[in-house]
Structure 1
Amino acid sequence: MNEKILVVEDERQISDAIAYALRREGYRVEVVDHGGAAIPKMLEFRPDAVILDVMLPGMDGYDILKKFPDRGSMGVIMLTAKEDIVHKVLGLELGADDYMTKPFDMRELLARLKSLLRRMQAAAEKPEPEEIDLGGVRLHVGRRSVVAGDIPLELTPKEYDLLALLAVNPGRVYTREQLLDSVWGMDYIGGTRTVDIHVQRVRKKLGAEFSDLIQTVHGVGYKAAGGRSDQQHKNKI
């Protein structure tokens, strides 16, 4: 096992326990205990996944996600002592792949990490076209980049994955459950509202000209318009 995991956690007892458990499983592990050191370490270490605490000195976990949106295929599991749904939704909106509340069972954290890495590996191995063009919105698969007209967009990993899944099969209707399973994984414990929130965010980033590229199929889910001729009616959540 050669996967690299970065642990960003300021509580020494917790970070030591996580690092010990990860190394026992064969992962290569680096640990930082200050929010301000997280992004430089991500750029240097290039981990496959990050276990990221929310409450950190210097810069909290949410700000780290905001300031480093172009993480490519780097997975993120957030840790927090806050149990309310608002904080969980915020982390997921900013691109986290999963969320665990302290105190947590180490076996569950390891299981979730393995599941996340399996999904990432499966996505990386799936053959895809090099570039997808949907009526002026272009997705470059290799770079995981999106350009709307002439404007490059900054999408979180989950926002990109959602848009790319719809774009590969324009016109195909996906239920919210199918999108949740495909993008977040079948073992993801959050609800389908996560899909709606990410669709809203992608539409906003696409801008007014392309905001209805993702169309709502009421009572079912979403589809990508096949082109501008298929984008006459704006369907909102």
Structure 2
Amino acid sequence: MSARLVPWRDGHRKTDGVGVTFVNITGLTQAEARQRVLIAELQHRTRNLLTVVQSIAQHTLYKGAPLDAFLMRPSALGRLQGLIGKAGNDLVALEEIVRLEFKALGAGKDEQIIIEGPPVALSLDRVHGIALALHQLATNAVKYGALKDGGGRLQVRWHLAQQAGTGPKLMFEWDESGLSVPPNPTRHGFGRKLIEHALAYTLCAKTELRFKDDGVCCRIETPLTTGEPPGENEVREGI
């Protein structure tokens, strides 16, 4: 039961008493409880579905690098569903996504990786695209880049920027260094397509992927609220 108190005024706008209104909110409370149960069940079924997809792939595709690369992506989404399930307000912390990915991949040593940035809470419509991009960057760093051995370094930094007339934007930077062999800029896999093209439409993002002499650098700029997708000319191509 919810109660509301309002002043009772006469025809001269003089307060002459108090009006009390009682509203039965039992139905609303029950509906919210049912919604929480349904969301938890949906997330559970989503994780089960990802497991089924992995099983089908294992029994359909030939064993090898292509299968391993495919299986890692549903695994990344499954880990993300675990974070979403713990989010009580439909927001997921960016730092949790970053650290969970490194932990799952067993990536690098503490002294190799620098993670810096203010607390940033991502809404559910932002989470999946950013998490997949992080997974691709981290996987590439473990296989070919700064986290392949003990010689490389990785800096993961982000901050928020405010522009007039728009909401806050997330400015995210992934910067690898210390590679003895320059990265191969001719490789065009799923991860590069996701970062350079798909994020522009799923997150209204502007992206830049650069191949330096000693590592890969990726910058992602995306609004924290949904907007209109940018045009193709607003996506900066990788070098």
Same fold, TM-score > 0.5, yes or no: no
TM-score by length of 1: 0.31
**Which structure: greater strand fraction?**
2
